[in-house]
Structure 1
């Protein structure tokens, strides 16, 4: 059985990456529109309703509008925007996040693709809160840096085009200094944390890649969990996963540095538990590709689950 897929916003960075992962897959058929038809409301509405699965790679308001144009009860939707990540009636598309998440996704109609930064944060924190190793009311801090492709066409131009009006002549830029980044509600809701995490994102002069870090003062926690306990819980949570890998103690002990390009242009997510047992401090780190597991790779993984296909088909592992 062929699954008909329409990528609305397929000319953007994420849409292009998704198309690359779907290329050559005989079990899928892509519905495409010409440049003229993409701007024609009737043609776009027809494509949305003809598809078995629609993947939205649009700004938030445009994504909401696209959903409103679907006039049947059959088409499934994967939204890669921020619009529905904390919305009622939408299933959060992070297959590894909860023990029953794949089952929930397989029967879902509306799926919100996770944000890249939340993917890194949730991969670290959610299993540890669920296991009771770290308290849900801990005041979490999230330090993260992304490649500039995460900012879309405008940011790519700022870093690559010398004539861009907002030329980014810098190696590293901290932003969201007002502590109101749109990813924070998503981080709180899906982690089960009591308080909004303090999120400190940055962008570096590298096209793709991402590091997300959660530093923890384990010595100040009520049960003072050990580094080994954290690592074991994370390893158990992702046991058998083909995409999420937890580094063992020897690997963490010998990992003197970690680069933003650690996983390369793949759909993997690697987890590290660094720390100092004597001081009771830990640095939990995820390395992922902001365009891979942080965007296009996650969308393709969700498409595979919704269509009843091999979960990792088309992914770069």
Structure 2
């Protein structure tokens, strides 16, 4: 029997890509509101309480308000905002890290952020295994396509052809920091340096490691082997053996829900670079939401994904 899905915020970038992944699938029926009713709280509340599954593609405050409208205990929610990523009662929607069975049973799932997806995929398993210390002051250097910034940033990049690079988060209090710290089990929040380039989609997340200075850190081979073992059998996450001489983020990059991980080391083994490549609209947003939805609906997690 088909399950109903209501995407609140369906006309935004994330909502549109979720709808595309669900299009034509017999397992789900999309509940939709016309332009006038999308902004009518009474109509939204009715849809929020009528669906089997609700996916919130809203700003944080609006997502919290939408959750407060739901009084039907049978409704299961996936929130693509950052409003509930470290909140009590919410399951972090990263099946590879927390276990697919926890996501499958959850009634409230919070989608990971795009940058944290790359960072956590690299660091969390290694800290958990004791191969990297929890109390090291990690740094994260990351670059994303402009589609992750919402309609205003998309318009800015597409109308101003002179922008080559945008650094932001310069107050060092980016909203992604709590989930990076908490879900990686770190003592300190990492220093996070996000940036945007004139590519529509795609993302590179890097964690540099001065291994010689990190007491208790494993060597490059052990770090790579641990990640390979941790993600063994995953249909979505791949740990590459190398030896790549470069990694590219293309302006014409195709949509993908994959997550590619790399571990590079210096010849003498004193330094390492952990790097994640992903689509900020795929595994970093819409693809992750659909993966969780599949699990919650009792379906194979990769159904409808772009792999």
Q: Which stretch of structure 1 is more off in the superposition, 81-90 or 272-281?
A: 272-281
Q: Does the CA-based 8 Å contact 1:226-1:277 persist in structure 2?
A: no
Query: 1:86 deviation in Å?
Result: 0.9
Distance 2:13 2:269 in 1: 43
Q: Which residue of 2 aligns with 1:220?
A: 213
Match for 2:105 among 104, 107, 110? 107
Query: 1:169 deviation in Å?
Result: 3.0
Query: Following superposition of structure 1 onto structure 2, how do residues 1-317 of structure 1 map, counting pairs within 5 Å?
Result: 1-98=1-98, 101-161=99-159, 167=160, 169-248=162-241, 252-253=242-243, 255-261=244-250, 264-317=254-307
Distance 2:59 2:214 in 1: 40
Query: 1:281 deviation in Å?
Result: 0.3
Query: 1:260 deviation in Å?
Result: 2.0
CA deviation map 1:200-253 (0-9, x unaligned): 0000011000000000011122234111100000001100000000001xxx22
List 4+ stretches of structure 1 deviating above 4 A. none
Distance 1:108 1:212 in 2: 28
Query: 1:185 deviation in Å?
Result: 0.8
Q: Secondary structure at the match of 1:15?
A: helix
Query: 1:279 deviation in Å?
Result: 4.6
Q: Does the CA-based 8 Å contact 1:31-1:47 persist in structure 2?
A: yes
Give the 3 Å change call, closer, same or farther, for CA 43–150 of structure 1 in structure 2.
same
Q: What runs of 5+ residues in structure 2 fail to find an aligned partner? A: none
Q: Which residue of 2 aligns with 1:164?
A: none
Q: Secondary structure at the match of 2:95?
A: coil
CA deviation map 1:62-85 (0-9, x unaligned): 100100111111100000001001
Q: Secondary structure at the match of 1:96?
A: helix
Give the 3 Å change call, closer, same or farther, for CA 111–19 of structure 1 in structure 2.
same
Query: 1:168 deviation in Å?
Result: 6.9
Distance 1:58 1:168 in 2: 28
Q: Does the CA-based 8 Å contact 2:220-2:269 persist in structure 1?
A: no
Question: What number of residue pairs does the alignment pair up?
Answer: 306
Root-mean-square deviation (Å): 1.2
Q: What runs of 5+ residues in structure 1 fail to find an aligned partner? A: 162-166
Query: 1:277 deviation in Å?
Result: 3.9
Q: Secondary structure at the match of 2:255?
A: coil
Q: Does the CA-based 8 Å contact 2:85-2:179 persist in structure 1?
A: yes
Q: Does the CA-based 8 Å contact 2:282-2:288 persist in structure 1?
A: yes
Distance 1:88 1:224 in 2: 32
Q: Secondary structure at the match of 2:96?
A: coil
Query: 1:265 deviation in Å?
Result: 1.2
